[in-house]
Amino acid sequence: MISVTIEGLVKRFGQTTALNGIDLRIAPGELFFLLGPSGCGKTTLLRNIAGFYIPDEGRILFDDEDVTKLPPHKRNTGMMFQSYALWPHLTVAGNVAFGLEERRVPRPQIRERVQAALASVKMEGYADRKINQLSGGQQQRVALARALVIQPRCLLLDEPLSNLDARLRLEMRTEIRRACKENGLTAIYVTHDQKEALSVADRLAILDGGKLVQIGSPKDVYRRPRSRLVADFIGETNFIPGEVLGTDAAESSECRVRTVYGDFNGCITNPNWRPNAGDKALLSIRPECWKLQHPDPYAPTINIVRGCVGRSVYLGEIAQYEFQPSADGAAVLKMYELNPREASEFFDSEELLAVVDATDVIVLEA
């Protein structure tokens, strides 16, 4: 179990800067995810950590050891690829043993460690099978066993579940997290799947243009995005432009914003942005944060949108609504209701109120 520290990492390909001054520390035993849009640098960062690329500037430390210029085979990292990269002519046991044979581990020890690795991924009864006799999920378990059997200092995963169907992805998410925690591994995981990251990660980082734009726990990044890019990339949201009316105090994160829908109280999440009255702002409100109710004469006058439900989609545990505001020029809002009531209760009403708590209104720099 090691820490991984990245200091001032820069990687260029010709005139293109793929990584631009990355500073990051991953704690021992942490399951850390790298996310971001295509071309943001997440796979390039993983390949620098693995040793497939050598950075142009900066350094990489495993605990206190500088591994920046070490070749991959001397870093003792395990790697899981999107394509599995299994040998079709070898058995399951042969694939798992390959890394140990390359390291010239004694044969009796190889057999023992291969059996233990297969047992750790619930594949102990498949040692003599050929790879083409396995399902996609079973092949991915073999790839995980092969990465674990060398007892790596760090496990690196490059979109390992993208080739699996939805059911197998759910199963393997749990399996990978369990295996990492039981083996005490520090793991760095690249994915484009937001649900995968939110459900498995201890912490995650969002990259854009070769830079880290936000790091935090899944809950923190989802509920407190610091920029439009993060709010838009992680989950779904409604963006509402507005103008800052003022903040409650110089050090307060609370802010009031006027929009075409009405006035909203919300929270400033970017510690580096302190708006003044009259500044442009952008509200981010998640669809599940709205609460629909019938008109109430005692309802507050802020954090409320008046309108009616338009199109809806019923998905069993959730209903998705398009809410048409009454205000002129106001765009349709997306809203979710968990454990939805009878839709007719809303459709038969001429006017409804959509209410949101101030803690669920994120005020971003426009």
Residue 237's pLDDT is what? 97
Q: What is the mean pLDDT of the chain?
A: 91
Of all helices (H) and strands (E), which one includes residue 282? Answer: strand 280-285
Pick the most confident of 100-104, 132-136, 190-194, 259-263.
259-263
- Provide the 8-state DSSP code for 56: S
- Is the CB of residue 233 less than 8 Å from the CB of residue 206? yes
Question: What fold, for 236-365?
Answer: OB fold (Dihydrolipoamide Acetyltransferase, E2P) (2.40.50)
User: What does the alpha-carbon distance between residue 148 and residue 145 come to, in Å, rounded to a whole number?
Assistant: 5
- Is the CB of residue 122 less than 8 Å from the CB of residue 148? no
Residue 300's pLDDT is what? 80
Locate the domains of the chain by residue range: 4-228, 236-365
Residue 202 clears pLDDT 90, i.e. is over it? yes
Higher confidence at residue 81 or residue 46? 46
Reported as a single tens digit per residue, the pLDDT across 203-256 is 999 999 999 999 999 999 999 999 999 999 999 999 999 999 987 655 668 999
Write out the two tokens for 49.
């950590």
Task: Read off the pLDDT band of 179 (50, 70, 90).
Answer: confident
User: What does the alpha-carbon distance between residue 60 and residue 67 come to, in Å, rounded to a whole number?
Assistant: 6
Global pTM exceeds 0.85: yes
Residue 250's pLDDT is what? 59
Residue 85's pLDDT is what? 81
- Is the CB of residue 33 less than 8 Å from the CB of residue 11? no
Residue 158 clears pLDDT 60, i.e. is over it? yes
Helices (H), 42-91: 42-50
Percent of the chain with pLDDT over 70: 96
Residue 348 clears pLDDT 80, i.e. is over it? no
Read out DSSP for 178-228?
HHHHHTT-EEEEE-S-HHHHHHH-SEEEEEETTEEEEEE-HHHHHHS-SSH
- In CATH, the architecture of 4-228 is 3-Layer(aba) Sandwich (3.40)
Residue 111's pLDDT is what? 92
* Overall average pLDDT of the 118-137 stretch: 90
User: What does the alpha-carbon distance between residue 223 and residue 221 come to, in Å, rounded to a whole number?
Assistant: 6
Residue 340's pLDDT is what? 80
- Provide the 8-state DSSP code for 63: T
Task: Read off the pLDDT band of 82 (50, 70, 90).
Answer: confident
* Overall average pLDDT of the 274-303 stretch: 91
Q: Which residues pair with 280 in a beta bridge?
A: 243
Q: Residue 32 carries which side chain, given as an amino acid letter? A: F
Q: Which residues pair with 138 in a beta bridge?
A: none
Reported as a single tens digit per residue, the pLDDT across 289-344 is 999 988 888 878 899 999 998 888 888 888 899 999 998 889 999 999 888 876 55
Residue 226's pLDDT is what? 96
